[in-house]
Amino acid sequence: MLVYLRLLKESLSFAINALRNNKLRTLLSLLGVTIGIFSIIAVLAAVDSLDKKISKDLSSLDKNTIYLMKFCFGPSNIPQWKREQFPNVKYDEYIGLKNSMNNTDQVGYQLFVNRESLKYDSKTVSDVNIIPSSNEMVDIDGLSFDKGRFYNESESNSGTPVIVLGYDIADGLFGTSDPIGKNIRLYGQRFTVIGVMAKQGAGFFGDSNDTSVYLPANFLRRMYGDSDAMTPVIVLKPEKGVDMEAYKAEVAQKLRAIRGMKAGEMDNFFINVLSGFTDFIDGILGQMNVVGWIISGFSLLVGGFGIANIMFVSVKERTNLIGIQKSLGAKNKFILFQFLFEAVILSVIGGIIGLLMVWGIAFLLTKLLDFEFVLSLSNILLGTGLAAFIGLVSGILPAVSAAKLDPVEAIRTGM
């Protein structure tokens, strides 16, 4: 056992000396593996970061949450011209479903509207995401508060001009002063601030609660009616453990009954389940992974050929030394390990450089974009292991050819 350990140690020492004595060649050989490992780990880290961000953004939501509206979250077999004829869901339909649905935790109503500006005295905050909704959305969206509260059912039903501010909106308008009870202007009307949401951070889907405000949907309905400029959605949160297929069938049956649709008539609405949307996103991330592996695989292939080529050159240059070593009693295993170690070390160093590049870029982007890029331990181990494997595969043929050299012929060839 000690003999083999000594053999490995001496082989490793020879390999390191060979790399140290040929710095330029070593550097050029590193490039291919470095680029390949950088490409693969960068893609995997980006996908992991996106996946983590999506999971964080949706952590407060039940994946079985249903969004009932005229639009579909994902691809649809229904022609676009047909979908454009679908009617918007109505507030009365929200009330009807709220009063008739079984196995339901919450039913909410929300409007998608244009972004607006908010004013308080001489201060203005622009490009604010406005979320007119019913009072149930506080539980459906899983909102938490830094100050104050959400509007109650009475305020929601009557369309009371009250408003709940995102953390950044409150900071932009009021700074360190307490906004609760203050009046701000929106849609040319005065709204009383009753709550400030807790800071959330940047959202993957663009908007964050930090730059959003909630107000009663009935306030806008009272001002503008059911305008086509506003897209309504009915949000249903089923109870835990519900059979989702049966639940969706019940939603469709109840809405069809409310709309007076005939048997055999095609549904003119979409039942979008949040889990289906997340599965769609996961599919896209999976495809990104595959494409990243394919593109990066070519880089690794080039890097592997580069290392193999350099190792064959190294064997040729050191043929005389190999002959002398073998004539002095060096075993084939010693020569084999010597060149294998050289190839693996060369490749692992390239992989480590690639990982350091990914870490540096991830750190920089996290600071600049307020988006957490994650280089996980599993990706670090994968990158290192992959680099070692490439080095092993690339170095095996040159190492075997070196080990098989006849000592007399090797010395004669090198002279």
Instruction: Identify the CA nearest to 316 among candidates 337, 334, 339.
Output: 339
Query: Which tokens is 194 given?
Result: 């009753």
From the list 81, 37, 69, the residue with the least C-alpha distance to 292 is 37
Q: Which residue has the higher pLDDT, 31 or 363?
A: 363
Q: Which domain holds residue 211?
A: 87-268
Are 380 and 339 contained in the same domain? yes
Report the pLDDT value the prediction gives residue 309, as an integer from 0 to 100: 72
List pLDDT tens digits, range 68-121. 998 887 777 888 888 888 899 999 999 999 999 988 889 999 999 999 999 998
Q: Are residues 240 and 340 in the same domain?
A: no
Residues 182 and 326 grouped into a single domain: no
Give the single-character DSSP code of 266.
P
Containing 96, the helix (H) or strand (E) segment is helix 91-100
Using a 10 angstrom Cβ sphere, with 0-12 exposed, 13-18 middle and 19 or more buried, the burial of residue 202 is: middle
Domain total in the chain = 2
Could you say which of 212, 240, 268 is where a domain stops?
268
pLDDT tens figures, 115-130: 999 999 889 999 899 9
| Residue positions counted in the chain | 415
Amino acid 131: pLDDT: 94
In sequence order, the 6+-apart residues with CB closer than 8 A to the CB of 407 are: 322, 323, 324, 326, 327
For tokens 């090198």, the residue is 414
* Residue range 160-200, pLDDT digits in tens: 999 999 999 999 999 889 999 999 999 989 999 999 999 87
Structural domain includes residue 67: no
- Which of 238, 268, 298 is where one domain is finished? 268
Residues 139 and 242 in one domain: yes
Residue reference for tokens 């730059």: 211
User: 109 and 234 in contact (C-beta within 8 Å)?
Assistant: yes
Sign of the Cα torsion 143, 144, 147, 152 reads positive
* pTM of the shown model: 0.62
